[in-house]
Structure 1
């Protein structure tokens, strides 16, 4: 059953399988294992970024397509939910309509970009996507009457997903293992469940005949074209699928934050983070998205705390307290990335699977 659920793509490493299982258990029971606003927020972000990174891996790792427009699709999904909730009310139907329209619009935009630019060399396609993404980010910032401009949009989600909504009073007295049974808990499991379904869908896609053809095109597009596969059609399809999943991840992100703005969904910093997560986890593996997103989000949220502790422990020693200052966390994040690339050139997943 597990093999079928994973589309036959097993971890192929006991150690990797154990790591993935631990991450799954931690995310599945995060509100109970790690109670606290910050830890649950970190777990939700990991779930969302796993999907976002996996959708980009479909493009880069399996299709060999370099794109800088992935945050644009992510933002389209987020703004779709925000705008529908603002104008249609705070019901679940607004969330579904916003997420669906966001995914459709993202796929349509990816189709247009792909048809006009995937026939050119890879570097030109990357530059075109960068230009389009930058133009959309500027447009969103300028039309403040619709998008809220730089301030973004704050919107209301269904009452059942808000912290004021309580359930389970008759069975558990409103608490389970010390955790309040409220709408925030339901929101987390909506994020977790949606992310798990999207991840398994991507795993199914890359292990289908379509995914295998995509890998063949990545290895040698001229040979794939020669034996009868329409390379452009496959690449455009992969771009549309990747964009739609990224938009759905953006919808989940907007639901979790109840806010959307240019800095949270459309910034180039997020695009760079996605690239780093793909490289750290391992391109062309899908499982690499789980490892990469988990390591990177944990580092973003807790590296400063770790460095603060190290700075306090080395107080009184020369140089070290300054070196471990929390203000230098980005420096150490860069050092960790360089070390990961040096020791894991094929990513963590690739190394654990014995790839070179």
Structure 2
């Protein structure tokens, strides 16, 4: 049964399986096990980034396409929900209308980009997507009447997802059953279902063709596959999943703006997570997103503890200052690439294969 749910793509490593089970359980019980608004926000961001990075891995890891326009589709989903909610009023009808329009826009844009750009060489395609993403970010910042400009848009969620909504007057297991809790579990269920759908896609005959194109597109073309069509479909699918991820983030934050969805820093974060987790492994998106978001949010707290412990050591205390957290994040990334050149998931699976062969 589990094998069918995972589309016959089992972790193939005991340690990886344990890590995935721990992550699944931790995210499932996060509102009850990790009280506090920050911990819940970190868990919600993990869920969004799992879906966002997994959709990008469909492009980069499985098809071999380097695109810098992924955050554009992420932003389209967020802005679609935000604009519809501000214009049509709060309610699931507005959310669904905004998401539907965003999906159509992403479908058209990704199809046009795919058909007109995927015939060029990889580096030129990457530059084209970078230019399109930059143009879209500028457009979102300048159309202030529609998008709120640099300030973004703040909107109200449907009543049941609003923080002011409370199902019960008394907390259950120490947690209030309110709109924030419903919002979190909406994210959890949608991300879980769509992640399993992505697993199914990459392990289907369609996914095998994408991997063949990644390994040798000339050979794939020679045996009869229309590589441009498959690459375009991969581009469209990745864009649609990213659009849903953006909509989920907007629902969680009840706000969207250029910095939250369209920033190039987010694109760099996606690339880092894919490399850390392991390209061409959907499970790498899960492991990489969890580790990266944890480091991004709690590394400063750890450095603050280290700075206090080393207060009497002049040089070391300044090195572990919380203000230098980006430096240490970069060091951790370099170390992870050095010790896990194929990503954490790739390394764990390779070790499992070596042990099985021995």
Residue-by-residue CA offset, 1:175-215 (whole Å, 9 max, x unaligned): 11101111110010011111111111111100010000000
Task: Supply the distance in 2 between the matched residues of 1:70 and 1:148 (Cα, whole angstroms).
Answer: 21
SS in structure 1 at match of 2:7: coil
SS in structure 1 at match of 2:163: coil
2:207 is aligned, of 205, 208, 211, to 211
Structure 1 segment 247-262 matched on structure 2, within 5 A: 247-262=243-258
2:281 is aligned, of 281, 285, 295, to 285
Q: With structure 2 as the length reference, what TM-score do the two structures score?
A: 0.97
Any gaps of 5 or more consecutive residues in structure 1? none
Residue-by-residue CA offset, 1:276-315 (whole Å, 9 max, x unaligned): 0000000000100001100110011000000000000011
Residue-by-residue CA offset, 1:239-287 (whole Å, 9 max, x unaligned): 0000000000000000000000001000000000000000000000010
Structure 1 segment 149-168 matched on structure 2, within 5 A: 149-168=149-168
Task: Supply the distance in 2 between the matched residues of 1:103 and 1:267 (Cα, whole angstroms).
Answer: 20
Per the alignment, residue 87 of structure 2 pairs with: 87
**C-alpha contact (below 8 Å) 2:300/2:325 kept by paired residues:** yes
SS in structure 2 at match of 1:246: helix
Structure 1 segment 184-199 matched on structure 2, within 5 A: 184-199=180-195
Per the alignment, residue 316 of structure 1 pairs with: 312
Task: Supply the distance in 1 between the matched residues of 2:102 and 2:241 (Cα, whole angstroms).
Answer: 10
Structure 1 segment 37-56 matched on structure 2, within 5 A: 37-56=37-56
SS in structure 2 at match of 1:166: coil
Shift of 1:168: 3.7
Per the alignment, residue 133 of structure 1 pairs with: 133
Task: Supply the distance in 2 between the matched residues of 1:79 and 1:201 (Cα, whole angstroms).
Answer: 24
Task: Supply the distance in 2 between the matched residues of 1:101 and 1:198 (Cα, whole angstroms).
Answer: 19
Per the alignment, residue 115 of structure 1 pairs with: 115
Shift of 1:99: 1.4
Any gaps of 5 or more consecutive residues in structure 2? none
Residue-by-residue CA offset, 1:125-157 (whole Å, 9 max, x unaligned): 000000000000001101101100000000111
Task: Supply the distance in 2 between the matched residues of 1:267 and 1:185 (Cα, whole angstroms).
Answer: 28
Per the alignment, residue 326 of structure 2 pairs with: 330
Task: State yes or no: 1:31 paired with 2:31.
Answer: yes
Task: Supply the distance in 1 between the matched residues of 2:120 and 2:202 (Cα, whole angstroms).
Answer: 24
Shift of 1:351: 0.3
Per the alignment, residue 302 of structure 2 pairs with: 306
Shift of 1:100: 2.0
Per the alignment, residue 76 of structure 1 pairs with: 76
Shift of 1:94: 1.1
Task: Supply the distance in 2 between the matched residues of 1:53 and 1:164 (Cα, whole angstroms).
Answer: 31
How many correspondences in the alignment? 352
2:217 is aligned, of 218, 221, 227, to 221
Q: With structure 1 as the length reference, what TM-score do the two structures score?
A: 0.98
Stretch of structure 1 that moved more, 159-168 or 133-142: 159-168
Task: Supply the distance in 1 between the matched residues of 2:63 and 2:104 (Cα, whole angstroms).
Answer: 21
Task: Supply the distance in 1 between the matched residues of 2:107 and 2:239 (Cα, whole angstroms).
Answer: 5
Structure 1 segment 10-29 matched on structure 2, within 5 A: 10-29=10-29
